[in-house]
Structure 1
C-alpha cells in the first residue's frame, strides 16, 4: 500500500486577485517536496497551470453568483507515485464532460480550461461531495507510464 508523503492545504476567498498567492503556495510546495522526489520542471509548470485553471474556474464560474468572501479550499497530496490536487467550491454542480473540446482552428468563448486540465492531468474527476461542495480532483503520476 502506498502512503502519503506530504500534504498541504490552503483556503482563500473567491477572488481572482488571489491567484498569484495560490500559485506561489504551489511553487513553494513544489520546491520543498516535488523537485527532490523526481518531478521535472515541465511537470511542475503544467501542474501549476492546471491548478490556476481550476482556481480560476471556481471563481469565474462556480462562484459567479456567490459573494467574494466564499471560500475555495485547495489540498495538495503527494504520494510516492503521484500528486493529487483537490479544489473545493460551493457552486452549482455541473458535468464538465458536457463541455465540448475546442476543435483545432476554431474559436469558442469557454471550455479551454477544462481542455487544458484534461490534457495536463492523468486523471480528472469533478463531483459533488456529501457536504454540498464540488471537488475537482486532478491526479498526475510521477512516471508517465503509470496511468
Structure 2
C-alpha cells in the first residue's frame, strides 16, 4: 500500500461566500505538489470543480437548517497514485443511490450534483462517520505514466 505524500486540512464556516477561499486553498495545494508529479491542468480543473460541488452541496443541503457557524472540514491527501478529497458536514445523512439519474434531454429538480461528482472523479463515496458527521470522499487516480 502507498503512503501519503502530502496532506492539508481546512475548516470553514458553512457559508457559500467562502467557496473562493476553499478553491484558492486547493489551488495552492495543487500548485505546490500536484504539478510537480505531472498532474494535468485538466485533472486539477475537474478536481477543483468536484470540490466546489461537494462544498456547495454541504452548505446548501446538509447545513440548510443549521447555523452558518456550523463548520465544514475539508482534507486533501496526496498519495503516489491518487488524490483524495474528504468533505465532512453535520447534516442529516442521505442515500445518494436513491437519487434518480436524470435522463438525457430531460429536466428534473435537483440531483445533478451527485452525477456531476461521479463524472468528475474516479470514485465518490458518501457515508456517515462514527462521530455523527457525513463524509464525502472524492478520489482521482493519477494517469498512467505519472509517478
TM-score band w.r.t. shorter chain: over 0.9
Runs of 4 or more consecutive aligned structure 1 residues displaced over 3 Å after TM superposition: none
The CA deviation at 1:92 is 0.2
> How many residues get paired?
145
Q: Does 1:19 align with 2:5?
A: no
Q: Counterpart in 2 of 1:45?
A: 45
Counterpart Cα distance in 2 of 1:107 and 1:99: 14
Q: Counterpart in 1 of 2:82?
A: 82
Residue pairs, 1:1-147, within 5 angstroms: 1-143=1-143
State the TM-score, normalized to the length of structure 1.
0.96
Counterpart Cα distance in 1 of 2:24 and 2:84: 17
Counterpart Cα distance in 2 of 1:74 and 1:35: 21
SS at match of 1:110: coil
Counterpart Cα distance in 1 of 2:43 and 2:122: 12
State the TM-score, normalized to the length of structure 2.
0.96
Counterpart Cα distance in 2 of 1:26 and 1:123: 19
Which moves more between the two structures, 136-145 or 12-21? 136-145
Unmatched runs of 5 consecutive residues or more in structure 1: none
Alignment RMSD (CA, Å)? 1.1
Counterpart Cα distance in 1 of 2:36 and 2:9: 20
